[in-house]
Structure 1
Amino acid sequence: MGKSEVYSWRVDPELKSALEEAARAEQMTVSKLLDSIVAAWLEQADSNGDQEAIQRRLHRAATKTLGKIHGGDPRRAERSRQLVRKRLNKRRAG
């Protein structure tokens, strides 16, 4: 199937030269190289979108359980320094 759409934009001369050099190195036209670059970028963007959706789903699932574990001491976080020091002192003494 032939191409039916045209897209054009302005580029810096250095970028144009780099594209032409890369196309020669890959033995393809600049148009084919740009098609390949854009297709790869779009595929990567799609997979990143999928990863973001997966992460959002996992985050939603995890937040359902946050705060559900009861440790019996509601002030444990406030007393953590004291509790850790107490345990360390026990280890050193024993």
Structure 2
Amino acid sequence: MQAFKEDWQFSPIDGGLYYWLTWRQKKLTRNDWQVFLQEGLFIAPSFLFSNDTSSMRINYTPVDKKKRMIFSQKLASITEKLKNGR
């Protein structure tokens, strides 16, 4: 996740199994989150829990190296699309 620190702020939830990520660039809209679905990356956007629209929750339970690589590749693709206005 180190590669994404410029664009995403990472905050673990104390006592849970999730990371909380916040987009550091322009404010995201609910429509911006569609790119995650298009990439097949299923996350919990913050608007499901509050009025915030620029954060997400991801599960960090143990996954194998291949799945971590797939996640990183998809997040990199999504990050570029968000930065470039899709």
**TM-score (normalised: structure 1):** 0.25
Between the two structures, name the one with larger relative contact order (CA 8 Å, sep ≥ 6): 2
Larger Rg computed on CA atoms: 1
Higher share of residues assigned strand: 2
